[in-house]
Amino acid sequence: MSSFYDIIGYPFGYLMSWIYDLVNNYGAAIILFTLVTKLIFFPINYHTQKNSARMQLLNPKLEKLKKSYKDNPTKLQEEQQKLYQQEGLNPMGSCLPSIVQMILLFGVLDVVYKPLTHILHFSKSVRNAALEIASGMVEDGIKSSDLRNELRIMEQLNNDPDKFSGVGENFKELVQQFSENFTFLGANLGQTPTFHPDSWTSEAVILLLIPFIAGLAQLVQTVYTQVHQKRTNPNAQSMGCMNVMLYLMPVLSVWFAFQVPAGVGFYWAWSSIFSFLITLGLNIYFTPKRIAAVNEKEKEKAKKKAAKHPERKSFMQKMMEQQQLLEQQQNGGASAGNNGDGKISRSEMNKYNRDVIKEARKRMAEKYGDVYDENNDNDEE
């Protein structure tokens, strides 16, 4: 899992390094880095929001179909798929962009958690040597698999710099110099927030506030999203357990932000703030009038594409064909194995299954240009 983070994280690491060299302050670099990555993800957010708004337009028609075919689930599914095809809308269209965004977010987190790798560019051997020293300074140790181990190394170095004197590449000096800029409003983001600081300085107060700001920002975003969904789709079913989890997550974020260096909670706070602003902006942009115009434009685009490439099948067409093929196979199986009294003998069912497998092999051979030899299947029998 760590290598997965590394692969995705390095491109974002160069971005973060460039921003840090530009502003020479880690707190400011985190804010700019978060903003830039949100802008990079904006096309994905736009597509997801547009798809969601179009689905809301379709909800009345879907509800009408549910009432008309409430006693016939198969027919209901078929009519829903036809409706999606007519509207040029893929109900799963938001899934792939969301998955891509989630994968890229692993890279963003890797950059936030690993300043020694992505900003100071220390070699792996030096980082491992520093980790071994820092791990010996903590009661439970620090595992190499801990994604936040570099922030914890910095925290231990600030507590006792002399223990890191033997680490190469001027590790102690460069990390100390970096720590001076690892701040926000004078608070060291490498320190872990606590309710019991040695003294209540302005730094201690700022560090204490960061987890609560992170949780509050996430809560505001959650509440706004829930209110907007109820306003735009009042007939949507409420999922009690899911709603509880949505409101529980901000509380867990506050708790967790007290267990890690403040830089992590600082990133979460700004990430939630920018996400809320982007969501708010898109919801304001997608007025009923505008989304109706967008919907008509997308429908027309889908019609032209279908007319230009009639041989190409849409996602919904493929789903319908698969559903029909499955029903045909099930019906065929029932008729093939029926011995007149409604029962299917084992030998008859085995024969039918072999025939289905043969047909599947034949189709695969035709698809990939292979030679299908039916005698091989007969030998296996």
Sequential pLDDT tens for the chain (381 residues): 456 666 777 788 888 889 988 988 888 988 998 899 889 888 888 888 888 777 777 777 878 888 887 777 777 777 777 777 777 776 665 566 667 667 776 777 788 888 888 888 888 898 989 898 888 888 788 887 777 788 888 888 888 888 888 888 788 888 888 888 888 888 888 778 888 887 888 888 898 999 999 999 988 988 888 887 777 766 655 555 556 777 788 888 888 888 877 888 888 899 889 989 998 998 888 888 888 887 778 777 767 776 676 656 555 555 555 655 665 555 555 444 454 444 555 666 666 666 666 666 666 555 445 554 555 555 555
Tokens 């025939």 map to which residue? 355
184, β-bridge pairs: 187
Q: Is the pTM of this model over 0.95?
A: no
Q: How many residues does the chain have?
A: 381
Query: Each residue of 228-240: b (16+ CB within 10 Å) or e?
Result: eeeebeeeeeeee
Asked if 242 and 207 touch (Cβ cutoff 8 Å), the reply is no
- Residue 374, pLDDT score: 57
Ramachandran class of 186: left when φ > 0, alpha when ψ lies in -120 to 50, beta otherwise: left
